[in-house]
Amino acid sequence: MAKTWLICLLVLLTACGLAIAYPQEYIDGEGNLRLENEYIAIFVNLGPENEGRFALDVTGGNPEHDGDNNKPLIYGHPRPWTSYTTVRIDGQNYVFGGETSQRAGRGGEYGEVTREPQVVDGEKIITETRMGDVVVTQELSFIESTTTGFPDTAQIRYNVTNEGNVEKRIGLRVVLDTMLGPNDGAPFRVRDQEVLQDRVLIRDDIPEYWQAFDSLEEPVVMAQGDLRGPELTPPDEVYMTNWGSLADGVWDFNFRPGREFYREGEFELDSAIALYWTPEWLAPGETRSYVTSYGLAGIDIVPGLLSVGLSAPARVIFDDFTQSFQVMAYMQNNLDVTARDVEVALDLPAGYEVIEGSQRYTRVGELEAGGRMQFAWQVAPSGDLIDPEMLNIQVRADASNTDGTRATRQVEVLPPAALELHLEGPSDFSFIHHAMQPNPFPVYGRVINTGGSPAYGVQAVLALPPGLSLVRPDQEHLELGILDPEEVVEFRWLVRSHGRPGEIPMAMEVSSRNTRDNSVVEILDIPEWPQGVYLKWDDPERLKPGRVATALVVLGNLGDGVDFEFDLEYPADLLKPVYISRGQLMVSGEDLLEFTRPEFDPDSGVITGFAGDLMGKDYGSGVLARIHFLVRDIGEGTLELKNVKVSDIYGAPFDLGIGDLQFNIE
């Protein structure tokens, strides 16, 4: 009785915790985190056991097919646990998410869930797991299916970051326990083959997509997994097998080509698929993304005594990366007798041809009652790339002892993405108090997609020559994501000049997954810095009693390799030195150059013994030292440089201008 009471209390506390931690609109009746649209739903296990594992349901599904409503796409009720993801790190197999006591993944190692599943912006469900120095983020969101054109597909993304100090060898395996309505053992459809037994696809043998359904006569759910595309990371291997084997082996598993999809150790059909990305080195601080997708398939089915199904992308784009597309057709004999003299033909519009796969015209001969066949073609333009248009593709199936069937599908051809680049810096510089203005200065970048289709994975990198550097925390590399047609994205970098004069080029390089790399160059006309040693205030606005103001000792245009020494006089009644630090000119990459930081009496009015060596710098302009003063009182005063000695790499002294600094404290 006491044990029963305790279990009820724990259930109540868990339910209360869920209500507090998550918006109730995203919690389903089984306690999962659920995100849905009018086509499909993504739901994630909130744990603690199996936390982060996910499944898919159909909601409204295909608008022209009522039979798939509210059916599963991935096994997952009441809580997802059978589909899971393995991260292989230096030979160790870690299962993503919370630990399990169930069969799937029980033999793996586990990390710590550092970000519990949560809906972000109403658009995606994110979960994060730390596995030592490796952090893995799972993102699940809706995208458009390649064959339906509707957002009835789940994008499955894993971002893997090495937060350690040494490189790691990291790979990934994603197991999807496919389930098409009540059918847990549906065959996979790969190009022109119906896969009913263990099979592996490796690299070049991996198609653009695979499909799964049980019957052309009355299909319940038609599913599709995309393997190649501008938004995806093609796997290195794809295994089609029974779920039990994949559940028991978290990386390597019992794979036997030719074995039917009966669940390992049991007697029920249970098909599943595993996508592998081979372990590769990941450097410290580096992030790698793995992206795939799974959802509904777009198959136009025409019933008849010879039923025909036809599938092809809803939209295609011909560019330097994609020059053909896959067409799949299915045929089923619904007669009670053998269909005789069966012929299948693919009709393409003028200007297109089959470059790989089945013949456009195939004499099948006899097809027994209930018999099924499938065909796949890789279709491409037969000449130059054509202007955008709608393509009508037709498959004809005929037999001598029954009526023929025709299935037609439209494919929209879109123009490719095209990125237009702009880079702009200041057109004019001036010198105020011996310092170049503006410095640092903004550099503006702009990227426009002038093409007719999205550009995926757009990245921009600012390349700077010696003499210019980026002001942190700005980063040279920017991830711009997806740019839709006519979309414009603008951004800014903050750049500092270190005094190298002349026409200085800087470049912006832009790349994406489906456009050629491109770049644009902007020339900055950096003026000659006045030669000498000068003083200036870092921020004159801070020159007020009770505040700390910083004086900069600036070296201007002295070429390669400089030794220097100097003293500084200041009005002790107005200013009190509190700290002296090196300027950015005394830093070379990650190395600190030789710099003598003098000791001082804050009331003496003089600081003696500044010295340093700029050997190793390839330019001699910038801030040598920073003197931080506490402003004591109002009044007028002067900072003066004394005993200045600056020599070149041969010991020869420079004939310099010396710039003292007069100021007024109000």
CATH of the domain at 99: 2.70.98
Both 242 and 330 in a single domain? Answer: no
Distance CA 623, CA 634 (A): 27
| Four-CA torsion 211, 213, 219, 220, nearest 10 degrees | -100
Residue 266 lies in a domain: yes
pLDDT band at 11; cut points 50, 70, 90: very low
Both 269 and 121 in a single domain? Answer: yes
Start-end of H helices in 70-145: none
Residue 426 lies in a domain: yes
Residue 7 lies in a domain: no
pLDDT tens per residue across span 571-592: 999 999 999 998 887 877 677 8
Give the three-class secondary structure for 205: helix
Both 229 and 289 in a single domain? Answer: yes
Both 314 and 241 in a single domain? Answer: no
Question: Contact at 8 Å (CB) between 501 and 528?
Answer: yes
Residue 11 lies in a domain: no
Amino acid, res. 114: T
Mean pLDDT for the stretch of residues 611-624: 70
Look at strands 306-311 and 325-333 and give their pairing: antiparallel
Share of the chain above pLDDT 70, in %: 93
Output the domain CATH number for residue 358: 2.60.40.10
Q: Which residue has the higher pLDDT, 222 or 14?
A: 222
Both 328 and 433 in a single domain? Answer: no
Mean pLDDT for the stretch of residues 409-428: 94
Among 264, 296, 328, residue at a domain's last position: 296
Output the domain CATH number for residue 583: 2.60.40.680
Both 304 and 289 in a single domain? Answer: no
pLDDT of 314 over the 80 cut = yes
What region does 412 belong to: left with phi over 0, alpha with psi -120 to 50, or beta? beta
pLDDT of 170 over the 50 cut = yes
pLDDT tens per residue across span 26-80: 999 999 999 999 999 999 999 999 999 999 999 998 887 777 788 999 999 999 9
| Arithmetic mean of pLDDT over the chain | 89
Both 173 and 72 in a single domain? Answer: yes
Both 152 and 260 in a single domain? Answer: yes
Structure confidence at residue 543 (pLDDT): 93
Structure confidence at residue 560 (pLDDT): 56
Structure confidence at residue 645 (pLDDT): 87
Strands of the 339-347 sheet, one edge to the other: 315-317, 402-414, 389-399, 339-347, 361-367
Both 228 and 318 in a single domain? Answer: no
Residue 180 lies in a domain: yes
Structure confidence at residue 557 (pLDDT): 63
Both 483 and 560 in a single domain? Answer: no
Residue 8 lies in a domain: no
Residue 370's domain comprises 300-414
DSSP strand E in 415-540: where? 419-424, 430-432, 435-437, 441-449, 455-463, 468-470, 477-483, 488-497, 502-512, 515-526, 532-537
pLDDT tens per residue across span 323-380: 899 999 999 999 999 999 999 999 999 889 999 999 999 999 999 999 999 999 999 9
Give the count of domains, the chain: 4
Both 223 and 269 in a single domain? Answer: yes
Q: Which of 163, 168, 207 is nearest to 189 (CA)?
A: 207
Residue 366 lies in a domain: yes
pLDDT tens per residue across span 486-524: 999 999 999 988 777 889 999 999 999 899 999 999 999
Q: Which two tokens stand for residue 26?
A: 């995203």
Among 296, 322, 337, residue at a domain's last position: 296
Among 370, 395, 414, residue at a domain's last position: 414
Structure confidence at residue 319 (pLDDT): 84
Distance CA 158, CA 140 (A): 9
Residue 352 lies in a domain: yes
pLDDT band at 5; cut points 50, 70, 90: very low
pLDDT tens per residue across span 79-124: 999 999 999 999 999 999 999 999 999 989 999 999 999 999 999 9
Distance CA 245, CA 199 (A): 13
Both 439 and 544 in a single domain? Answer: no
